[in-house]
Every structure is written in structure tokens, then in C-alpha cells.
Amino acid sequence: MSIRFTKMHGIGNDFVIIDARSQPVDWSAELAEQIADRHFGVGCDQLITIHAGTDGAAARYRILNQDGSVAGQCGNGLRCVAAWLWRDNPALPNPLLIDGDAGRMVCERLADGRIRAAIGEPMFAPAQIPFMADEPAAHYLLELADGSIDIGAVSMGNPHCLVVVPSVDQAPVATLGALLERHPRFPDRVNVGFAEVVSRAAIRLRVFERGVGETLACGSGASAAVAILRQRDVVDATVGVDLPGGHLDISWAGPGSTLLMSGPAQFVFDGIWNHD
């Protein structure tokens, strides 16, 4: 079977995007693992499929991680989907409505070429994350084999926890990220962010993504980090987030408001995946 695809990235967080409206696609963990393999496949952090939209949405998108697990939300991926849809049909409106497993999102193409995505209100209720705790809090103490660690937790349509560190360059992302991703208090696993607060308007961030490992960037992770730090009154309403792959601007006015994420979406190449 041959499948047409587009390779894209948002500041280094890379995706294979498949239009499932125009060709048969076996949306499965096996397909995601094969395509995402960087030696024997195309190579990507996530596989994204585009499906027909309903009720005014231009399309619906679904996400599978490298390991075949389902990702409910992906901020960088959402911007890439919007850019892909505009390239596929330049007559589509701006802003654009796109549905995903985390709900309906709004994407706007800015004058400078970046895309601003409204990705919903951060959810701090433990049951919504999901996270095992009695009530929402700005800080939680997680027990590990060699001690405990202070984290924040939030859902951006997918689960996130955040560890504040003195320096992201020295943060034990690979080891601690892997431990926290599968901590028993996160029943659906969790994306793990490591944030260095530079000022009230700037942070540095590295993210160990659920089902992938450390990536060059994570849009929902950047959003989650700002939401948690804003909940703690550590940052202002608009924050620049520097990740290993590039820069995102995150704005959140606070409870009752949707969070806005602005950044680039880049096309890499189009191709055909041939497999048995």
C-alpha cells in the first residue's frame, strides 16, 4: 500500500501528516511505529492524520506518538495542520476552526507568517488531568524511590507536569523525565516539562514527551509550563518560551480564558510511504 504524506515541523517538533480524507489509512499503533521510526521509516515525533470536519470545522485531526499511543493534544502539530490545510485549500478562512480529541481549536495566520492557536483553557482539576490528588494545588509532592520532588500539574487536552530547575542545561531530562512519565499518580502517563524561569516574561524549557522521549519542542508543554507558573504568580500574562528547537510566545489572561500559542509551522517535504 502507498500512502501520500507531508513531513512538517514546529521548531523541531516533527510530524508526518497524512490526509485520511483522500486515501485509505489504517489508523493504528503499528502504522505510527513504522512511519515514526527514524531508521526504517520516515521519522517523526508524532503521526497526524487529517479527517473530515463537521459543524463548521475545516477538518479534524488525530495524533499518534512514536510508540503508537494516542496523544490528545499537540500544539506544534495543530499549527502544522492549520498550515497544511491552508496550503491544500487557499480559499479556507482565516481564522480556521479545527477539531481534535481535546475539542475545537481556532488557528489564525498572523501577518508575520506565524500561526496563533487558541488551544483552550488550562485544566487544573486532578480528575481532568488525570492525576491522583484530592484537590487542585499549585504544588504537589511526588514520592520517588530516592526521595520526593515538587511538581505542578495541568491538562492542556493532554496531561502535563512541570519541574522548575535552576538550569535546563543541567536538568536530568532523560532519567527524571522517564521516571515521572510513568509515575503511578498519573494513570495515563504524563508529559514532563523542565522549566528555568529567566524573568516574569521569559522561560527556558525542555520537555520529555509521553510516548516519545525528549523532543526539540512541545507546544502543549510550553503552554502547560506557562499556565502552571502563572498559577503560581511567577510569570506575567505573556511569556516567551525558548525551547531547544526555537521560540514560542504564550499568552494566558487567567482562569476563564483560553490560552494562546504563537509560533512557526514549517514544511519539509512531501513523499509516498510504501509498505506491505
Q: Distance (Å, rounded) from C-alpha 177 to C-alpha 186?
A: 13
Whether 219 has a binding-site annotation, put simply, is yes
Whether 75 has a binding-site annotation, put simply, is yes
Whether 76 has a binding-site annotation, put simply, is yes
Whether 65 has a binding-site annotation, put simply, is yes
Which residue of the set 44, 107, 161, 218 is catalytic?
218
Tell me whether residue 74 is one of the annotated catalytic residues.
yes
Whether 274 has a binding-site annotation, put simply, is no
Q: What is the DSSP string of 126-146?
A: GGGTT---SS--S-EEEEETT
Angle formed at CA 84 by CA 82 and CA 88, multiple of 5 degrees: 120
Whether 220 has a binding-site annotation, put simply, is yes
Peptide bond before 184: cis, by omega within 30 degrees of 0? no
Which residue of the set 44, 74, 107, 161 is catalytic?
74
Angle formed at CA 204 by CA 199 and CA 206, multiple of 5 degrees: 155
* Burial of residue 114, with CB atoms counted within 10 A of its CB: 0-12 exposed, 13-18 middle, 19 or more buried: middle
* Burial of residue 70, with CB atoms counted within 10 A of its CB: 0-12 exposed, 13-18 middle, 19 or more buried: middle
Closest CA to 85 of 70, 100, 72: 100
Whether 109 has a binding-site annotation, put simply, is no
Q: Distance (Å, rounded) from C-alpha 64 to C-alpha 71?
A: 6
Whether 263 has a binding-site annotation, put simply, is no
Tell me whether residue 218 is one of the annotated catalytic residues.
yes
Whether 191 has a binding-site annotation, put simply, is yes
Closest CA to 217 of 249, 179, 182, 245: 245
Active site residues: 74, 218
Binding residues for substrate are 13, 46, 65, 75-76, 158, 191, 209-210, 219-220
Q: Return binding residues.
A: 13, 46, 65, 75-76, 158, 191, 209-210, 219-220
